[in-house]
Amino acid sequence: MPFSNFELKTVDVDAGAIRLRIGGSGPPLLLLHGHPRTHMTWGTVAEILAPFFTVVCPDLPGFGKSYIPQDAPDSIHSSKMEKARSLRQLMDKLGLPSFFLAGHDRGSLTAFRLAMMCPDIVRKLVIIDGLPVLEHLERADWRFARDWYHWFFFAQPGKPERVISADPEAWYDKLSPDVMGAEAYADIREAIHDPAVIHGMIEDYRAGIRVDHIHDKQDREAGRKVSCPMLCLWSLRDDLQQIYTDPVAIWRNWASDVSGFGVDSGHHVAEENPRDLAAAIKTFLLTED
């Protein structure tokens, strides 16, 4: 059973309610999941890390059973900046004002934005299978268009929600209880059958195309970088390294102190190889600077 001895709770922030699980003991660690997951993707990783950290696993805003951000023409309420603000409020309300931070996939974008906005509270940052949105867009080539076409489909108004909601399990045909575990599968299956959640997840992508890349560009032009130590991890059986060659080299444009390496896994590493992922996170976070 994942998340044994973890508390399931809902915490209100200014923008709405955030569902989360919290457990363990030690320095706080906030884990942010990717698309189309909920916090349940972290179940085994959280169990492994709980003896060493107070682990907080929320559903990202727009995902699972957390609040759905309000619509806006530029999707600003689904921006990583606004989600970062909500997550900082969440940690404050939990009495954990300074913490370690790790994010996977879409969660890595919010983690990056939170570390950029709040250098005084993020002690170390782990990015898993992610790059800044601006890097993806500026480096997009035929391989990106072929394999990551959904970024541009999801950016279209209205149509993605209608297509996905017509048959959610056909669209998300890689979901499997054999890989995810029965509890996580049941949780995400419920989420993808909720049209409001589908809309919230799609808006996360629209925000990337509409406004998140602008925030990245503003940081780059101002010379701002992540100031805390950062670890970049990527799944060796996914395509981040294949498309971009050296993710660490790219991240050195955005962070002052970066190291990184690949993990033997497909894209959903928290489910496919949780032990190696947890070991990498633990070693990095507990190693003295």
Q: Report the catalytic residues.
A: 105, 267
Q: Tokens 């250098």 belong to which residue?
A: 119
CA distances from 190 to 64, 222, 236, 271, 285 (A): 8, 43, 30, 18, 34
Sign of CA dihedral 82, 84, 89, 90: positive
Q: For residue 210, which amino acid is it?
A: R
Structure tokens at 24: 């363990």
Task: For the chain, give the longest Cα–Cα distance.
Answer: 51
Q: Is-contact 228 241, C-beta < 8 A?
A: no
Give me the residue label for tokens 């990783």: 45
Length of the chain: 289
Q: For the beta carbon of residue 108, count every other beta carbon within 10 angstroms.
A: 26
Q: How far is CA 266 from CA 103, 174, 176, 248, 277, in A?
A: 16, 12, 14, 19, 12
Contacts of 253-256 with C-beta under 8 Å, sequence gap 24+, read 253/135, 253/220, 254/112, 254/132, 254/219, 254/220, 254/225, 254/226, 255/125, 255/225, 255/226, 255/227, 255/230, 256/225, 256/226, 256/227
68, 200 contact by CB (below 8 A) = yes
- Please check whether residue 13 is in contact with residue 44, taking contact to mean a CB–CB distance below 8 angstroms: no
